[in-house]
Amino acid sequence: MQNGRNDIGREVARRRTFAIISHPDAGKTTLTEKLLLFGGALREAGAVRARRAQRHATSDWLEIEKQRGISVSSSAMHFVYGDFRVNILDTPGHRDFSEDTYRTLVAADSAVMLIDAAKGVEAQTRKLFEVCRLRGIPIFTFVNKMDRHGRDPLDLMGEIEDVLGIDAVALNWPVGTGNEFRGVYDRLGRCLQLFSGGNHGGSLVDEEDVPGAHDGEAVRAALGAARADELADALALLEGAGAGYDPARVRAGEQTPLFFGSALTNFGVKPFLERFLELAPPPGPRPSSRGPIDPATEPFSGFVFKIQANMDPDHRDRVAFVRICSGRFVRGATARHVRTGKTVRLANSTLLMGQGREEVSEAYPGDVVGLFDPGLFRIGDTLSESGGFAYEGFPVFAPEHFMRVELGLVERRKALAKGLEQLAQEGAVQLFTDGGNGSGTPIVGAVGPLQFDVLKHRMATEYKVDLRLTPMPHSVARWPRGAFDPEIVRHSQLVKLVHDREGRPVLLSESASYLERIAERHPGLALADTAIEHAT
Ligand code: G4P
């Protein structure tokens, strides 16, 4: 066989697929850009930012992004570094999109948490971290902006541990901060890495490695006695502080390796990248209805984690992003679309690199391919050559905002129903019905209110429907599990019974405490704040 199991195993072992999470302005765009520069995927700094600006200017992406100046949609970027093939999945920057972020994290094998050294753990960092936690993937932390006067590195470490409830273990330690930030000491490699010549346009900086223990002669000579003593004290404190780096705990999401650097000046980015690639996990077995699926031995399979409509308004296309989980993806080959049992041809595959699209002819576990979607795909759908299993469905998060849809003009009702159904399928919004299964008034639910703006805009531009929404007072939704009798809420003024797209009952309320009381009164009943979207 030309491309056998061993070749696939080799391709799996060299892949690193991750997402970067951060509070806006912590430097995610800048870091991404520098990583791409190291990988030779970009020739000049500023290209990602320029592309972002161009994207708004040319309205290639959703119009709403342009209007709001935010990034609603995310893309995948890739590059080769040494022997590694790296895939960076871009997470949406806006706080309303934790559900989107979760989907991206399902497609990732690890996450990089970016923290601004002056600001520490910010609100959005916390929220995204919780989403990461839910997903249970290893999290690596990069403390950025060390070229500015920030907080004390030990304080920052303590804050990460206290606020996020995860052990932090510094794998490198900064030498100086602000203008005095001169390098990092690599604790695993026992080596001092000094930087010089960084510039803000920042292609690559000069680096000098000084091998040896932090209190050795060479390090003392390079730093001078005072700086060397300061470093020795800090490292002694770290040694004394307890647990060292433990790969098993990192894999379990209990410990986060910590790195210091400055994306803008390029200081510490390369040492971070190299250690990260060495320590971050390659694609592993994924749970499915048939048990864990091995990436190297199972033929091609993957799942849809994102659907993006109208990336090019001239073509009105939809692209389904597929994370490959096993085997070799070959363009033009066929695979089973497990939910419908249909055989689909893996044609028109594009790999997305920022805004540019390139055709791919083959890809491996960890890679993301975009497939032209004729309206068949849903988030969570499995594609598989053997067809014998489905990957686990995606959780749906309880919306916190609800709007009743006004039905309006009769002649647009069909377009309205189609638009709502398709946009719910894409995961842009959640759809419920008031009253019996599927027959009553539609209600849309969202985790963040901005999603309603996106919905209205897209209904107007894509389905020519002027969507009218009336706010509802509810802010809590729970899915009953176990013994649920609709009679118990039928006459309630405080709880409203609706159904989701799969016909499951959902209880809406203005306050979680009403629902808690119901659960207390009915011991066999559990009320869940997430549901699984069934792909089969
Ligand atoms: P984001 O994607 O996380 O929102 O952040 P982004 O990279 O856009 O960076 C936000 C701001 O922080 C930018 O400044 C950027 O230049 C700056 N920045 C990023 N990394 C570093 C760093 O390591 N050190 C310092 N000192 N600044 C950093 P801006 O003024 O908003 O934009 P610009 O004028 O630089 O384009």
pLDDT band at 136; cut points 50, 70, 90: confident
Q: Which of 139-143, 357-361, 502-506 has the highest mean pLDDT?
A: 139-143
pLDDT for 343 beyond 90: yes
Interatomic CA distance for residues 108 and 306, integer angstroms: 13
Residue 145 CA to ligand 1 centre (angstroms):
9
Q: Is 30 in the pocket of ligand 1 (CB under 6 A)?
A: yes
At 108 the pLDDT is: 95
At 313 the pLDDT is: 55
Between 85-99, 228-242, 315-329, 342-356, the lowest mean confidence (pLDDT) is in: 342-356
Q: Which of 205, 264, 270 is the best mutation target for the ligand 1 pocket, counting ligand atoms within 8 Å of the beta carbon and taking the most?
A: 264
Which of 34, 16, 22, 132 shows the shortest CA–CA distance to 78? Answer: 16
At 135 the pLDDT is: 83
Query: 23 vs 108, which has greater pLDDT?
Result: 108
At 234 the pLDDT is: 92
Between 3-12, 208-217, 405-414, 448-457, the lowest mean confidence (pLDDT) is in: 405-414
The DSSP element (H or E) to which 512 belongs, if any, is helix 512-521
Amino acid at position 292, single letter: P
pLDDT band at 59; cut points 50, 70, 90: very low
Provide mean pLDDT across the span 165-176. 94
Between 182-186, 221-225, 411-415, the lowest mean confidence (pLDDT) is in: 411-415
Residue nearest to atom 29 of ligand 1 (CA): 25
Q: CB–CB of 168/258 below 8 Å?
A: yes
Q: CB–CB of 310/338 below 8 Å?
A: no
Q: Is 24 in the pocket of ligand 1 (CB under 6 A)?
A: yes
At 438 the pLDDT is: 52
Q: Is 266 in the pocket of ligand 1 (CB under 6 A)?
A: no
At 79 the pLDDT is: 86
Give the ligand 1 atom nearest the CA of 262: 23
At 449 the pLDDT is: 83
pLDDT of 72-81, one tens digit each?
Answer: 344 578 888 9
Provide mean pLDDT across the span 507-511. 95
pLDDT of 253-288, one tens digit each?
Answer: 999 999 999 999 889 999 999 999 999 999 999 999
Residue 288 CA to ligand 1 centre (angstroms):
40
Residue 148 CA to ligand 1 centre (angstroms):
12
Which of 202, 200, 222, 201 shows the shortest CA–CA distance to 211? Answer: 222
Provide mean pLDDT across the span 221-230. 91
pLDDT for 448 beyond 50: yes
Q: CB–CB of 434/498 below 8 Å?
A: yes
Between 42-56, 212-226, 493-507, the lowest mean confidence (pLDDT) is in: 42-56
pLDDT band at 57; cut points 50, 70, 90: very low
β-partners of residue 110 are 18
Q: Is 177 in the pocket of ligand 1 (CB under 6 A)?
A: no
Residue 260 CA to ligand 1 centre (angstroms):
16
Query: 427 vs 418, which has greater pLDDT?
Result: 418
Provide mean pLDDT across the span 219-236. 91
Q: Is 29 in the pocket of ligand 1 (CB under 6 A)?
A: yes
Q: CB–CB of 467/456 below 8 Å?
A: yes
Give the ligand 1 atom nearest the CA of 24: 4
Task: Record the pTM.
Answer: 0.84
Residue 526 CA to ligand 1 centre (angstroms):
46
pLDDT band at 1; cut points 50, 70, 90: very low
Give the ligand 1 atom nearest the CA of 261: 23
DSSP state of 180: G
Quickly list DSSP for 13-82.
HTEEEEEEEE-TTSSHHHHHHHHHHHTTS-SSTTHHHHHHHHHHHHT-S-HHHHHHT---S--EEEEEET
Query: 65 vs 197, which has greater pLDDT?
Result: 197
Q: Is 28 in the pocket of ligand 1 (CB under 6 A)?
A: yes
Interatomic CA distance for residues 41 and 421, integer angstroms: 38
At 393 the pLDDT is: 82
Give the ligand 1 atom nearest the CA of 32: 7
Residue 379 CA to ligand 1 centre (angstroms):
33
Burial class (CB in 10 A: 0-12, 13-18, 19+), 355: middle
Q: Is 22 in the pocket of ligand 1 (CB under 6 A)?
A: yes
Residue 229 CA to ligand 1 centre (angstroms):
32
Residue nearest to atom 28 of ligand 1 (CA): 264
Give the ligand 1 atom nearest the CA of 30: 7
Residue 119 CA to ligand 1 centre (angstroms):
13
Amino acid at position 472, single letter: M
